[in-house]
Amino acid sequence: MMKRILLFLALAVVVVSAKKNSKYQMKLPCVYMGTFYMPGDVWKPHPCARCECGNLHSECDIKTCPACDGKEGAVGVDQCCAPCDGKAVKPTETGFCSWRGKHYEDGDEFTLNECTDCSCDGGIASCVVRSCEFQECENGEPASVAVPGYCCHFCPENVPA
């Protein structure tokens, strides 16, 4: 009995020491649109955006497209900015941010979707993407049901009405 108590205390000291030592801190993944990323992972969810996983949260920078004084064309899948008068447009850094046809002034805060909050600063929209905690469903699978208006996925047995 005494040996078990001593072993338990020794393990408790090791766990507490490991938690205090940053070398042993647990790295928690980010979830973006149902995909898991580890801290330090970088991805481009859109040609104008670059995201990086922190510890359980993602941060994204979105480049700004200049306003078009002429006829704005449709944005191609691999394009950052819509063509203007048939000519390709490159992103610029100015005193406003533009995302999918909406313009925001420097200092404005806005929401891109259920998971993404942004602010405009110097022509670059900096966004924080909320991460979702891992949920294991009754069937042993991870939550995978997307519900409009919610950031995180649900288990089939927990889908809101």
Q: What is the pLDDT of residue 109?
A: 92
pLDDT digits (tens, 9 = 90+) for 104-140: 888 899 887 888 888 888 777 888 877 777 788 999 9
Exposure string of 21-32, with b = 16+ CB inside 10 Å and e = fewer, is eeeeeeeebbbb
Provide mean pLDDT across the span 25-41.
Answer: 81
Q: Which residue has the tokens 């991460």?
A: 131
| Beta carbons within 8 Å of 94's beta carbon, 6+ residues apart | 64, 66, 123
pTM of the predicted protein model: 0.56
Asked if 57 and 30 count as a contact pair (C-beta separation under 8 A), the reply is yes
pLDDT digits (tens, 9 = 90+) for 49-81: 888 988 777 888 877 777 777 888 888 888 888
Mean pLDDT of the chain: 75
